[in-house]
Structure 1
């Protein structure tokens, strides 16, 4: 295990007063582990200099030791490396106080972070992270993209993880570079396999295909593992929606969310990376004592489907997918909190007053679930709810399981 070590000393303290303590700590640690760094930081400028000297991307875990209080702002900068973090605190100079503050900062960014105050605990924490290295590597190295903006009605959206932002102006440049022939070719097979095409004509289907091709080129050029797009803004500009494109990507194994919601995208990434399942991102449309109805105009094309327009705007190409019956999970993520419910997909509905894909879910104590959930958009995933909840807990989420 390569352990990247950094000591924090406040700007009003004398680093020389702590050199002996730091040296003895490093010598003891080096008896068992490979050490990187081992230098002092007091301010953000020190962090920038240290980045040039040591490549902490090579470390398996970061060990931050706030030797004094007042070191939080310099040490929190190490979140950029997206590594598991161990914070060592001792009983003097407000070390532990700083450590608790730092631990919560890292956890809010979904970085595994633990505080220890003995060398025995430190050793156990390092070895524990080694055992979970593959799990954390899968989770921490996701490259997420936001195309455009998060929809303004998502008033509870919180997201502290890094992501690549791509403007809609850039998207339109990609879109305009796609020919009609390329657009039609992209969706020709999807059109042929549809059970029916209710409203869209060939021109609308071609535009939907051009959106798909443009997004596929963006994924490649920006090296994205998944993306979300501020979809409603496309309607006024190019008079179409990305619903069909997102449905195709999710079926192909590329997580793709709508309305610019990054939390939903994160949940989709988890479903794909750890369960190899697509997720259906949906609104809560109705509920009763023992059921919840969810609906949206895009869903993974994993079973029979009808091509429709987008519900609210009557434009573009939406999909009404007949998602299969069976056991599944309903997931909502917001920040470091997650709500998981075990559900049974009971069937589909076809109201003309809801988004196109409509799924009825059986769930015990549905009203309690609605009262306790943490926002609207939920993900339907064909995975065991207890397994999903356990995984999320291991990844650092605070999970409520229904």
Structure 2
């Protein structure tokens, strides 16, 4: 097992005062593990030097040991490597206080983190992470992308995990490399399989296909596992939306979220990576004592569907997908917290005053669920709610299971 070991000291103290403690610590760990690093850092500039010298992305576990207080500001920077981390704190020089603060900073960013205070606890924690690495690795190594910006009405959006940002300017460059003919070829089969095509004409379908091809190339070039796009910003320039492209990607196993929401994208990625299931990202449109209606203009094209326009703008190509009845799970993630509820899909609705795909689910005490949830957008997926909640807990989320 390969460990990246780093110590921190305040700028107010001399490194020489800790040489024996550092040497003893490294020697004992090296008897059982492959230790790299061993740096004693005192500032952010020291962190940058250590980062340049050792690739901490390649270690199995990070061990951070703040030898004094006043080290939190630069030791927290190790969260960028997204490796399981053990924070060692001892009873002297405010070491424990700093360790607790660093541990919580990492956990808030969904980096698995454990606090220990002696070598016995440290070795036990290392063995625990060794057993968990197979589950944790796909989560820690994921590559998510944001095309454009987070939609400004997502006032509760909070996301502090690393992601790749692709500007709309760059997206338009990719779009301009496509042609109307290529766009039509990309969506022709989707058009043929639709049970009905109501508003969209061939021009709208070509543009939708070009958006799909542009994003497909971005995914390949940036090596992304999933993406979200600030979709409404496309309306002014392209007079269309990416609803159909997102529906196609989700049907093909690539997590794709709209409105630039990264938390929904994260949930989509977890569902696809660990359960191989697609998910529907929707607005809560209505509720009663024992039901919710979830609606949006994009959904995985896996069942019977109609092609419509995008609801708010009347442009582009939205989808009205018929979801099958059955047990499912409703999920809302925001930051480190998650709300999970077992539901039953009981039908589909087709109001002209809502987004195009409208799914009705039965849920026990819907008002209580809404009172405790974390915001509007929810994911609907055909997975077991308890199994999904257990996985989220293992990945470091604080889960409320309804």
TM range (shorter): over 0.9
The corresponding residue for 2:63 is: 63
The corresponding residue for 2:99 is: 99
Deviation string for 1:168-214 (max 9, x for gaps)?
11111111111011000000000011011011011111111111011
1:54 and 1:315 map into 2 onto residues whose CA distance is 51
Deviation string for 1:88-120 (max 9, x for gaps)?
000000001001110111111110011111212
The corresponding residue for 1:248 is: 248
The corresponding residue for 2:257 is: 257
1:120 and 1:301 map into 2 onto residues whose CA distance is 53
The corresponding residue for 1:293 is: 293
The Cα of 1:138 is off from its aligned counterpart by: 0.6
SS at match of 1:136: helix
SS at match of 2:302: coil
The corresponding residue for 1:235 is: 235
2:54 and 2:93 map into 1 onto residues whose CA distance is 27
How many residues align structurally?
402
1:333 and 1:19 map into 2 onto residues whose CA distance is 44
SS at match of 2:383: coil
The Cα of 1:400 is off from its aligned counterpart by: 0.2
The corresponding residue for 1:121 is: 121
The Cα of 1:52 is off from its aligned counterpart by: 2.3
Does 2:387 align with 1:372? no
The Cα of 1:312 is off from its aligned counterpart by: 0.5
2:57 and 2:400 map into 1 onto residues whose CA distance is 33
The Cα of 1:26 is off from its aligned counterpart by: 1.2
The corresponding residue for 1:47 is: 47
The corresponding residue for 2:320 is: 320
Deviation string for 1:147-173 (max 9, x for gaps)?
001000000000000111111111111
1:199 and 1:52 map into 2 onto residues whose CA distance is 55
Structure 1: where are the runs of 5+ without partners? none
1:124 and 1:365 map into 2 onto residues whose CA distance is 43
The Cα of 1:55 is off from its aligned counterpart by: 1.9
The corresponding residue for 2:336 is: 336
- Taking structure 1 as the reference length, the TM-score comes to 0.99
- Taking structure 2 as the reference length, the TM-score comes to 0.99
Deviation string for 1:21-73 (max 9, x for gaps)?
11111111112211111110010110111122222222100000000000011
Deviation string for 1:236-265 (max 9, x for gaps)?
111000000000000001100000000000
Does 2:238 align with 1:222? no
Q: How does 1:13-162 map to 2 (within 5 A)?
A: 13-162=13-162
The Cα of 1:365 is off from its aligned counterpart by: 1.1
The corresponding residue for 1:396 is: 396
Compute the RMSD of aligned alpha carbons.
0.7
1:52 and 1:18 map into 2 onto residues whose CA distance is 24
1:263 and 1:49 map into 2 onto residues whose CA distance is 32
The corresponding residue for 1:356 is: 356
Residues 72-81 or 194-203, more deviating: 72-81
